[in-house]
Amino acid sequence: MAKTSAERVKEYRERQRQAARKALLEPVPEPGYVVTPFYAFMDGRHVDFEENLDAYGVHISGTDLGEAVQKFDTEAPWEKSFTSLERARGMMGVFLDAAKELAALINEYKLQEVGAAIDAAHEVSASLPRGDVEALKKSFAEIERLRAIQSELRKPTRHTLLSVDATGE
C-alpha cells in the first residue's frame, strides 16, 4: 500500500532528527582561518562566570578552559574527549537553555501570583459598599496596576549575544 503524505513527512522528520543527533557527536572541525587554538587563547585569561555561578551555588567542575583536552566528571555517556572550544560552546548552549528554562518558570510563577492578586482585588471590589466611590476608585486602580504588570510579564525580552557561528566555517 502506498504511503500517505503525512507518513512520508513523519519519516522525513525522523531522519532529520537522527541526523541532527548524529551531528552532535561528530567533532566540530576547526575553521581554516584559525591559527591559535582556543585553549592557548584562554590560557591566563580570567572569566567571571565561574565566580558568578558559584555565588549562587552552581559549581563548574573540570579542567580550566586553558587546557587543550578537557577533563570533567559527568553522568552523560560521552565517548570522546572535548577540546576547550567544543566544551566552551557546549557550556554556552547549556547556560542559554538553563536561562530560558529558569525564565519560563519565574514568569509562570509571577503570572500565577498576579492572576491570584487580580482575582482577590475583584472580590474586594465586589464587597465594597455601593456608596463608597473613593474606595471603589482605589480598588479599580489596583486592578489596573496589576493588569499592567501582567501585560508586561507576557511580553518577551531579548538579550543579544555575539555570534559564535558563521556561514562558511
* Residue 17 covered by a domain: no
* Residue 13 covered by a domain: no
130-145: per-residue pLDDT in tens? 888 898 899 999 999 9
33-69: per-residue pLDDT in tens? 677 888 888 888 887 787 877 777 877 877 777 777 7
Which pTM does this prediction carry?
Answer: 0.69
**Quick check: 103 pLDDT over 80?**
yes
The domain total for the chain is: 1
Residue with cell 455601593: 130
Distance (Å, rounded) from C-alpha 128 to C-alpha 134? 10
* Residue 6 covered by a domain: no
* Residue 11 covered by a domain: no
145-156: per-residue pLDDT in tens? 999 999 999 999
Which domain, by its residues, includes 96? Answer: 32-153
